[in-house]
Copies of this chain bind each other. A is one copy, B any other.
């Protein structure tokens, strides 16, 4: 693939519902959740964009910016946003990219097998991609769902939280981890160093030690 875990997020300049952006400048020193939706004025997408708009303050508290994308022009996005805002009684404050040349969808692999084969046809709906990008502009996590399957907004927030907690504290997070639960001390840290850094910890195996963050 063009993009893997650890790849640098490809840069681009593009028009959005909030004006032209240079993607790397948009990222700046923030974390970014970059996600595509298949098409404006379609049902699952309306529920998704509404949910992300409602959750934006939570992402904001974590220094995380949201940005959407589909392969339609700005005017289409702007007309559709009115529906989203009335349906969820919210306001969509993050930009939605107008990728009407499909360049970004191609660069970021936001296409299904079938869509890739038809990329030169008129309408190319994107899949439901999510890229979590860190301030170093590296791709840290990717979720790819088909058009029929609405995402899980809480899982996107949890993944951002887990990645930030890991980076900040030099730990890793177990399956199903949520804020406040015990974290894992990486095997590269000695017991002595772990004690100095984290205080108490539980040693389940030599390689599996858990601790709570103060």
Q: Which residues of A contact B (CB under 8 A)?
A: 1-2, 4-7, 41-44, 46-48, 50-51, 83, 87, 109, 111-114, 116, 127, 140-155, 158-159, 162-163, 166, 172-177, 184-187, 204-205, 207-209
CB of B209 within 8 A of CB of A43, answer yes
25 contacts between A and B (CB under 8 A): A1-B1, A1-B109, A4-B127, A5-B112, A6-B114, A7-B113, A41-B207, A43-B172, A50-B175, A51-B175, A87-B204, A141-B145, A141-B146, A142-B144, A143-B143, A143-B144, A145-B159, A149-B159, A149-B162, A149-B163, A150-B172, A150-B174, A150-B176, A152-B175, A153-B175
Across the interface, A4 reaches (CB within 8 A) one of B47, B112, B163, namely B112
Complex copy number for this chain: 2
- For A205, the chain B residues whose CB sits under 8 A away are 41, 43, 46, 83, 87
Chain B residues with CB under 8 A of A47: 174-175, 184, 208
Instruction: Return A77 CB to nearest CB of chain B, in Å.
Output: 15
Minimum Cβ distance to chain B for residue A127 (Å): 5
Known interface pairs A146-B141, A155-B155. Does A175 touch B48 (Cβ–Cβ under 8 Å)? yes
With A83-B205, A87-B205, A149-B141 given, is the CB distance from A112 to B6 under 8 Å?
A: yes
* Main DSSP-derived SS at the A contact region: mixed
Please indicate the chain B residues that have their CB under 8 angstroms from the CB of A140 in the complex: 146, 149
Residues of B within 8 A of A2 (CB): 1
Interface residue from B48, B112, B172, B174 paired with A147 (Cβ < 8 Å): B172
Question: Is the CB–CB distance between B141 and A46 below 8 Å?
Answer: no
Smallest CB separation, A44 vs chain B (Å): 5
Are B150 and A87 closer than 8 Å at their CB atoms?
no
Known interface pairs A5-B144, A6-B112, A113-B7. Does A43 touch B187 (Cβ–Cβ under 8 Å)? yes
Q: Which residues of B contact A185 (CB under 8 A)?
A: 43
